[in-house]
Amino acid sequence: MGYIIQRLGYGYLVMATNIYQETLMNKDQVEGLVEEVKGKVKEAAGVILDDKGMEIEGNVQKNVGKVQSGFGDLKEDIKDSL
């Protein structure tokens, strides 16, 4: 992050700048994120309803989503390095 300092008549204006880069997610990243969110919801519902089976199922689904998302991240890193 950089800063732009601009002198005004009565003082200075400091603006933070960021290099903005459009980031698109690949299919695995999107599907993994969706599975992760669904798993978190299911896990929370299991806690609220005191249903251990649903809680465990949600936890597994959440972790499967994390793995799939991580695989998508790896694919992007490989694509970017080429």
2 in a structural domain: no
Asked, for residue 32, whether it belongs to a domain, the answer is: yes
Q: Tell me which residue range forms the domain holding 71.
A: 23-81
Q: Indicate the SS3 state at residue 82.
A: coil
**Residue 8 domain flag:** no
* pTM score, whole prediction: 0.68
> Per the domain annotation, does 15 fall within a domain?
no
In a domain, 40, yes or no: yes
Domain count, the chain: 1
Hey, which residues does 3 pair with through a beta bridge? 16
* pLDDT block averages, 10 residues each, the chain of length 82: 54 53 77 94 96 97 95 91 86
Residue 48, pLDDT score? 95
52 domain residue, yes or no: yes
In the chain the first and final C-alpha atoms are separated, in Å, by 26
The answer to whether residue 77 sits within a structural domain is yes
pLDDT at 69: 93
Distance of CA 17 to the CA centre of its chain: 22
Residue 7 lies in a domain: no
